[in-house]
Structure 1
Amino acid sequence: MARSNAREYVRMFEPKLLTVLREGYTLSALRADAIAGLTVAVVALPLAMALAIASGTTPDKGLHTAIVAGFLISFLGGSRVQIGGPTAAFIPVVFAVIQQFGYGGLILCTLMAGLLLIAAGLLRLGMLMRYMPQPVITGFTAGIAVSIFSSQVKDALGLRMGEVPADFIGRWTAYGAHLATTQPAAVLLTVLGLAVIVGLRHRRPKWPGFLIALCVCTLAAHFLGPGAETIGSRFGELPASLPSFEFPHIPFERTFDLLPSALTIAFLAGVESLLSAVVADGMTGGRHRSNGELVAQGVANVGSALFGGLPATGAIARTATNIRSGGRTPVAGMLHAGFLLLFMLLLAPLMGYVPLAALAAVLLVVAWNMSEAEHFRSTMSAPWGDRLVLLLTFFLTVLFDLTVAIQAGVVVAAFVFMYRMSEAVELSSGAGESPNPRPDAAADGRETSQRDRLPAGVEAYQIAGPLFFGVASRLDHLLDQFFDPPRVLILRMRRVPVIDASGIHALRKLAERCRREGIILVMSGLQPQARNVVRQMKLLDGPHAPRLARDFDEAVALAAELTRVEGPA
Structure 2
Amino acid sequence: MSRRSLPLFSAWRQVLRVGYSWPALRGDLSAGLTVGIIAIPLAMALAIAVGAPPQHGLYTVLIAAPLIALCGGSRFNISGPTAAFVVILLPITQQHGLGGLLLCTLMAGLILIAMGLLRAGRLIEFVPYPVTLGFTAGIGIVIAVLQVKDLLGLTLPGSATHLTDTLVLLVRGLPSLSLGDSLVALCSLAVLLLWPRLVPRVPAHLVALTLGALLALLLEYFGLHVATLGERFSYNLDGIEHPGIPPFLPSLALPWTLPGADGQQLVVSFELIRQLIAPAFAIAMLGAIESLLCAVVADGMTGSKHDPNAELIGQGLGNLAAPFFGGITATAAIARTAANVRAGAFSPLAAIVHAGVVLAAILLLAPLFSYLPMAALAALLLRVAWNMSEPQHVAHTLRIAPRGDVLVLLTCLVLTVLFDMVLAVGVGLLLAAGLFIKRMSELTDTAALDRQQRQALLDMPEQVLAYSIRGPLFFGAAEKALSVLRRFSPGVKVVIVDISAVPLLDMTAIAALDNVLRDYRQQGVALILSGSTAQVRLQLRRAGVQRHEGELAYVRNLAQAREKALRWLGERQPE
- TM-score, normalised by the number of residues in structure 2: 0.92
Deviations 1:262-309 (A, max 9, x none): 111000110110000011011111111110000000000111122121
Contact 1:136–1:409, Cα closer than 8 Å, also in 2 = yes
> Could you say which residue in structure 2 is the equivalent of 1:340?
358
Contact 2:102–2:323, Cα closer than 8 Å, also in 1 = yes
Deviations 1:385-412 (A, max 9, x none): 1111111111111101111111111111
Separation (CA, whole Å) in 1 of partners of 2:455 and 2:85: 58
Separation (CA, whole Å) in 1 of partners of 2:134 and 2:574: 63
> Could you say which residue in structure 1 is the equivalent of 2:238?
none
Q: Which amino acid aligns with 2:490?
A: D
Contact 1:451–1:459, Cα closer than 8 Å, also in 2 = no
> Identity of paired residues, percent?
42
Determine which of 273, 290, 294 is the counterpart of 2:291: 273
Q: Which amino acid aligns with 1:515?
A: R
Deviations 1:480-525 (A, max 9, x none): 5323362111111000111111111111111111112221111110
From the superposition, tell whether residues 163 and 450 of structure 1 become closer, same or farther in structure 2 (CA, over 3 Å).
Answer: farther
From the superposition, tell whether residues 521 and 16 of structure 1 become closer, same or farther in structure 2 (CA, over 3 Å).
Answer: same
> Could you say which residue in structure 2 is the equivalent of 1:252?
269
2:232 maps to 1:234: yes
Separation (CA, whole Å) in 1 of partners of 2:269 and 2:470: 53
- Kindly state the Cα deviation for residue 206 of structure 1 after the two structures are TM-superposed: 2.3
Question: Alignment length, in residue pairs?
Answer: 551
- Kindly state the Cα deviation for residue 103 of structure 1 after the two structures are TM-superposed: 1.8
- Kindly state the Cα deviation for residue 164 of structure 1 after the two structures are TM-superposed: 4.0
> Could you say which residue in structure 2 is the equivalent of 1:294?
312
Q: Which amino acid aligns with 2:405?
A: D
Deviations 1:362-383 (A, max 9, x none): 0111011001223212321211
> Could you say which residue in structure 1 is the equivalent of 2:59?
64
1:9-28 alignment, distance < 5 Å: 9-10=4-5, 12-21=7-16, 24-28=19-23
2:543 maps to 1:548: no
> Could you say which residue in structure 2 is the equivalent of 1:189?
184
> Could you say which residue in structure 2 is the equivalent of 1:459?
465
2:85 maps to 1:101: no
> Could you say which residue in structure 2 is the equivalent of 1:403?
422
> Could you say which residue in structure 1 is the equivalent of 2:410?
391
Separation (CA, whole Å) in 2 of partners of 1:542 and 1:557: 16
Separation (CA, whole Å) in 2 of partners of 1:261 and 1:496: 41
Separation (CA, whole Å) in 2 of partners of 1:470 and 1:232: 60
2:335 maps to 1:317: yes
Q: Which amino acid aligns with 2:297?
A: V
- Kindly state the Cα deviation for residue 528 of structure 1 after the two structures are TM-superposed: 2.3
> Could you say which residue in structure 1 is the equivalent of 2:121?
126
> Could you say which residue in structure 1 is the equivalent of 2:531?
525
From the superposition, tell whether residues 448 and 287 of structure 1 become closer, same or farther in structure 2 (CA, over 3 Å).
Answer: farther
Q: Which amino acid aligns with 1:215?
A: T
Contact 1:431–1:450, Cα closer than 8 Å, also in 2 = no
- Kindly state the Cα deviation for residue 229 of structure 1 after the two structures are TM-superposed: 1.0
Determine which of 484, 495, 504 is the counterpart of 1:489: 495
Q: Report the secondary structure of 1:523's partner residue.
A: strand
Separation (CA, whole Å) in 2 of partners of 1:358 and 1:29: 35
Contact 1:104–1:250, Cα closer than 8 Å, also in 2 = no
Separation (CA, whole Å) in 2 of partners of 1:382 and 1:23: 41
Q: Report the secondary structure of 1:223's partner residue.
A: helix
Deviations 1:411-468 (A, max 9, x none): 11001000000001121112389xxxxxxxxxxxxx4698645322111111111111
Separation (CA, whole Å) in 2 of partners of 1:395 and 1:365: 21
Q: Which moved more, 1:104-113 or 1:398-407?
A: 104-113
Q: Which amino acid aligns with 1:492?
A: D
Q: Report the secondary structure of 1:9's partner residue.
A: coil
Separation (CA, whole Å) in 2 of partners of 1:277 and 1:46: 23
Contact 2:156–2:172, Cα closer than 8 Å, also in 1 = no
From the superposition, tell whether residues 64 and 552 of structure 1 become closer, same or farther in structure 2 (CA, over 3 Å).
Answer: same
1:131-210 alignment, distance < 5 Å: 131-161=126-156, 164-210=159-205
- Kindly state the Cα deviation for residue 121 of structure 1 after the two structures are TM-superposed: 0.5
- TM-score, normalised by the number of residues in structure 1: 0.93
Q: Which amino acid aligns with 1:503?
A: A
From the superposition, tell whether residues 17 and 509 of structure 1 become closer, same or farther in structure 2 (CA, over 3 Å).
Answer: same
From the superposition, tell whether residues 68 and 217 of structure 1 become closer, same or farther in structure 2 (CA, over 3 Å).
Answer: same
2:218 maps to 1:217: no
> Could you say which residue in structure 2 is the equivalent of 1:366?
384
Separation (CA, whole Å) in 2 of partners of 1:448 and 1:221: 85
Deviations 1:515-540 (A, max 9, x none): 12221111110012212211222211
Q: Which amino acid aligns with 1:252?
A: S
Contact 2:446–2:467, Cα closer than 8 Å, also in 1 = yes
Q: Which moved more, 1:544-553 or 1:292-301?
A: 544-553
Separation (CA, whole Å) in 1 of partners of 2:459 and 2:150: 79
Separation (CA, whole Å) in 2 of partners of 1:450 and 1:22: 59
Contact 2:445–2:481, Cα closer than 8 Å, also in 1 = no
Deviations 1:207-261 (A, max 9, x none): 1111110110000000111522111111122011112223312533311121111
- Kindly state the Cα deviation for residue 344 of structure 1 after the two structures are TM-superposed: 1.2
From the superposition, tell whether residues 427 and 476 of structure 1 become closer, same or farther in structure 2 (CA, over 3 Å).
Answer: closer
In structure 2, the gaps of 5 or more residues are 235-243, 259-265
Separation (CA, whole Å) in 1 of partners of 2:231 and 2:456: 84
From the superposition, tell whether residues 545 and 57 of structure 1 become closer, same or farther in structure 2 (CA, over 3 Å).
Answer: farther
From the superposition, tell whether residues 116 and 454 of structure 1 become closer, same or farther in structure 2 (CA, over 3 Å).
Answer: farther
Separation (CA, whole Å) in 1 of partners of 2:369 and 2:318: 26
From the superposition, tell whether residues 256 and 223 of structure 1 become closer, same or farther in structure 2 (CA, over 3 Å).
Answer: same
Separation (CA, whole Å) in 1 of partners of 2:55 and 2:162: 25
Contact 1:107–1:308, Cα closer than 8 Å, also in 2 = yes
Q: Report the secondary structure of 2:4's partner residue.
A: helix
From the superposition, tell whether residues 183 and 450 of structure 1 become closer, same or farther in structure 2 (CA, over 3 Å).
Answer: farther
2:394 maps to 1:376: yes
Q: Report the secondary structure of 2:304's partner residue.
A: coil
